[in-house]
Amino acid sequence: MPTPARHVAALDDSSWRQEQAAQSRQRIIQAGRDLFVNMGYGRTTIAEIASAATIYAAFRNKHTVLHQVWYVGSAATRRTSDFGIGSKSAP
């Protein structure tokens, strides 16, 4: 029989998993809605919905993706330029 502390931890883990499942379901519904509206039901595949739902988990919209592409790219450029990597003037 689980101890009270383990029982509470199990409930917390169960609640967390239920919350994660609910959030995943919402992302899938949102992705499906967006794709159905933009592409139509007939042209939307389940793979596109899954892909979009996965992206929504990290990035809520295209603007956020663009921002991160710019931010990460500019950070990489700053790091390499600090060491002269990619410099055309290098011998």
Task: Label residue 40 left, alpha or beta by phi (over 0 means left) and psi (-120 to 50 means alpha).
Answer: left
Dist CA 48 CA 67 (whole Å): 22
Yes or no: say if 52 and 31 are a contact pair by the CB < 8 Å rule: yes
Task: Give the per-residue pLDDT at 75.
Answer: 75
pTM of the model: 0.55
> Are 78 and 91 in the same domain?
yes
Q: For 47-69, how does the pLDDT look when each residue is reduced to its tens digit (9 = 90+)?
A: 999 999 888 788 878 888 888 88
Same domain, 54 and 69: no
> Are 72 and 46 part of one and the same domain?
no
- Block means of pLDDT (10 residues each) for the chain, length 91 residues? 56 84 91 95 95 84 86 74 55 48
Domain that includes residue 6, residue range:
1-58
Question: Residue 53 burial (CB < 10 Å; 0-12/13-18/19+)?
Answer: buried
Domain count across the chain: 2
Are residues 35 and 75 located together in one domain of the fold?
Answer: no
- pLDDT given at position 2: 54
pLDDT of residue 4: 58
